[in-house]
Amino acid sequence: NARQVVQVCSKGEKILVGPAMRKLAILNETNEEGISIVVNRQGSISAIDTHSKIMKNFSHCSFDHVIDATGKCILPGLIDGHTHPVWAGDRVHEFAMKLAGASYEEIHQAGGGIHFTTEKTRAASEDELLASFKDRLMSMLRYGTTTVECKSGYGLDTDSEIKMLRVIERARKEVPIEISSTFCGAHAVPKGSSVKQATEDVLNNQLPAVLLLNQTGELQVENIDVFCEKGVFDCDQTKQILEAGVKGGLAINFHAEELNYLGSAEIGADLNARAMSHLEKISDAGITAMAKSGSVAVMLPNTAYILRLVPPPVRKMIEAGVPIALGTDFNPNAFCLSMVVTMHFACVILRMSMEESLVAATINAAASIGRAETHGSLEVSKFADMIVADVTRWEHLIYQLGSSDQLIQHVIKKGEIV
Ligand code: NIG
Ligand code: FE
């Protein structure tokens, strides 16, 4: 008997662009009669209707479980479109260095950053990595995330990359959060290696090993990622790696135009990338190309905030018709597991409306990982991934920064309270 059910969209839309991002489908906005949702034993939604109609139509049914949501709001489970969550060794010391004036690139060039985390992650056992990863996933669930994209990328050699991807497979079986897994062996050039050697290693060793394990069913990697950046992988190398991934059946979802403009958004659009992340430095031509290709732009406001980057031109991108999604970018540089906090920053830093940020954190994030048909909105026959929040209007979740622990009462994944 919920007060508001925020469906996000209701006409079978797979992705929302432009002004459509600002018009949410909210049931019972007038608060006249409560709305109820019926979930079947397969974990999908059977019906959404007024409370009285549901009571009448399902009077012959006995329910396994009833949640009283009187006066509360129900929203779709949040989808985190971009994370680097498997690693050992925190970087709180680098946070201090950055506060004292060092830049992300300076720390990386000096052998810190991704290199520091790679060293610690290589040295850690699979069990150690799994334990901390599972804790992080449990926190994400508590904050309302029911599906998350997870990258490798702190191994940077075949064995260590596979170790990370195996950890993701094991966690999948042990934590009730859904994962879209991404191979990101081209996250940095490993110490002691040239970019040419690193590209060849990804193309000739790492990627084939991942694809082989995908074939045997030991891994279920869905996406390919590259950190396309000055001093990391250039546009040509990025293109080669992404194309090889596509050949192997992976979807393109990569780091583009973060710290320096390289024209990588244009390249991604050319390759029909399913998604590109960051885009702080995207050009007008890149925006036009992305609007045309329909590639989803995954915005990461936590990183822009922590690194004090000039935020990406999101308003311009929305006006141009680029589909916008959100991710936490959880990693040792940007330690934030909460999509609710990310939505708040999207509103304040990226100047998105609360409606736009919810769309970006649900249906559009689902599209960024190829799940918009089944996830990202509360519609009959979609998965019952939901949040029950003790708020009178859904916007309180974003507005009350840092309060989601108190506000989110239940998180439901495929019909199960988790
Ligand atoms: O998305 N930019 C590249 N990758 C991550 C950072 C990874 C790290 O610093 O460990 C990002 O911000
Ligand atoms: Fe990232």
Q: Residues 6 or more apart from 358 whose CB is under 8 A from it?
A: 6, 8, 24, 75, 343, 394, 398
Distance 258 CA to ligand 2 centre (A): 10
- State how far the Cα of 125 lies from the Cα of 132, in Å rounded to an integer: 11
What value, to the nearest 5°, has the Cα angle with vertex 338 and ends 256 and 381? 90
Which of 97, 300, 329 best tests ligand 1's pocket when mutated (most atoms within 8 Å of CB)? 329
- Cα R_g (the chain), whole angstroms: 21
Confidence of residue 30 (pLDDT cuts 50, 70, 90): low
329 CB near ligand 1 (under 6 Å): yes
- State how far the Cα of 78 lies from the Cα of 247, in Å rounded to an integer: 31
Distance 255 CA to ligand 2 centre (A): 6
Going by alpha carbons, the residue nearest to atom 1 of ligand 1 is 329
Distance 43 CA to ligand 2 centre (A): 31
Structure tokens given for 18: 């432009």
Q: Where are the beta strands (DSSP E) in 130-169?
A: 145-151
- State how far the Cα of 21 lies from the Cα of 359, in Å rounded to an integer: 6
Cβ pair 8, 378 in contact under 8 A: yes
Going by alpha carbons, the residue nearest to atom 10 of ligand 1 is 114
pLDDT of residue 399: 98
For the chain, percent of residues with pLDDT exceeding 70: 99
Cβ pair 347, 314 in contact under 8 A: no
91 CB near ligand 1 (under 6 Å): no
b vs e for 9-30, b when ≥16 Cβ sit within 10 Å of the residue's Cβ? beeebebbbeebbeebbbbbee
Ligand nearest to the CA of 121: 1
- State how far the Cα of 202 lies from the Cα of 156, in Å rounded to an integer: 8
Q: What pLDDT, in 10s, does the model give residues 319-338?
A: 999 999 999 999 999 999 99
Tokens 């390249």 identify what position? 267
280 CB near ligand 1 (under 6 Å): no
Confidence of residue 29 (pLDDT cuts 50, 70, 90): low
Ligand nearest to the CA of 305: 1
pLDDT of residue 165: 98
pLDDT of residue 33: 83
Residue 243's nearest CA partner among 273, 201, 282, 286 is 273
Ligand nearest to the CA of 117: 1
Collapsed DSSP state (helix, strand, coil) of residue 193 = coil
pLDDT of residue 268: 98
Q: What is the DSSP string of 2-49?
A: BSEEEEE--S--S---GGGGG--EEETTT-SS-EEEEE-TTSBEEEEE
| Phi, psi of 241, rounded to the nearest 5 degrees | -70, -45
> Residue 108 CA: which ligand 1 atom is closest?
9
> Residue 87 CA: which ligand 1 atom is closest?
10
Q: Residues 6 or more apart from 281 whose CB is under 8 A from it?
A: 257, 258, 259, 260, 261, 312
Distance 81 CA to ligand 2 centre (A): 10
pLDDT of residue 28: 78
pLDDT at residue 80 is higher than 90: yes
Label residue 58 exposed, middle or buried (CB < 10 Å: 0-12, 13-18, 19+): middle
Q: What pLDDT, in 10s, does the model give residues 294-317?
A: 999 999 999 999 999 999 999 999
Distance 284 CA to ligand 1 centre (A): 24
227 CB near ligand 1 (under 6 Å): yes
Q: Residues 3-8: what's their mean pLDDT?
A: 95
pLDDT of residue 95: 96
Distance 260 CA to ligand 1 centre (A): 14
255 CB near ligand 1 (under 6 Å): yes
Q: Residues 32-60: what's their mean pLDDT?
A: 93
- State how far the Cα of 274 lies from the Cα of 366, in Å rounded to an integer: 11
Label residue 247 exposed, middle or buried (CB < 10 Å: 0-12, 13-18, 19+): exposed
Distance 58 CA to ligand 1 centre (A): 49
> Residue 114 CA: which ligand 1 atom is closest?
10
pLDDT of residue 246: 98
Average pLDDT in the chain: 96
Structure tokens given for 210: 């991942």
Confidence of residue 244 (pLDDT cuts 50, 70, 90): very high
258 CB near ligand 1 (under 6 Å): yes
pLDDT at residue 31 is higher than 80: no
Q: What pLDDT, in 10s, does the model give residues 112-142?
A: 999 999 999 999 999 999 999 999 999 999 9
Q: What pLDDT, in 10s, does the model give residues 152-191?
A: 999 999 999 999 999 999 999 999 999 999 999 999 999 9
Q: Residues 254-282: what's their mean pLDDT?
A: 97
Please name every residue paired with 326 in a beta bridge, in sequence order, or none if there are none.
299
- State how far the Cα of 10 lies from the Cα of 286, in Å rounded to an integer: 31
Q: Residues 368-377: what's their mean pLDDT?
A: 98
ipTM (interface predicted TM): 0.96
